[in-house]
Amino acid sequence: MINYGDKLIFNLAGEHIGIDVASIKDIVEVERFLPLPISLPLILGIINRHGELITVAELSALIRLHSVKSEPPYRVVIIEEGNTTIGVSVGAGNMYFLWKEDIAKGDISPVSQNDYFKAIITMDDVSIRLLDCSQIIEGVEKAVRECNITLSVFSPVYH
């Protein structure tokens, strides 16, 4: 379902990407990620946010965009759906909010059969691909499961 509320927009690998503000728990900049004892190109590591350990994924790798090499500080958007919280690294490009009043002036087209996007918002000849946060979280969890490992950072207690 498409939420017609406010969006956070950022540029990633030359694409304009949007996230529903209602799904965003926080936006942070970090100098480094705590490494995990596994090697997954999708998983950058974990961050500690006020005592909560959060798995951080490379968004460009997940949604199959051209890989983005960024330098510290890394910008991470923390998204929350249900009881699951993850971070996605969004590169160092411009970031701004698009308010629902402005969105109402544009055109929103649902996207069918796409794993990670639910709509395209067209504003002043700019196409913004709107992420489906529940699919992003599911994609990260699936990648971890396919590696036949258990990441305790997906559970409430980290050992």
Q: What is the pLDDT averaged over residues 7-20? A: 93
Write out pLDDT tens, residues 40-77. Answer: 778 898 999 999 999 999 998 888 877 666 778 889 99
1, part of any domain? no
CATH assignment at residue 39:
2.40.50.180
CA of 108: how far to CAs of 32, 38, 60, 126, 148, in Å?
36, 40, 23, 12, 39
What rounded mean pLDDT belongs to the chain? 85
Contacts of 92 (CB under 8 A, 6+ apart): 70, 71, 75
156 within domain boundaries = no
CA separation for the pair 30, 8 (Å, rounded): 19
| % of the chain residues with pLDDT over 70 | 87
**pLDDT for residue 68:** 64
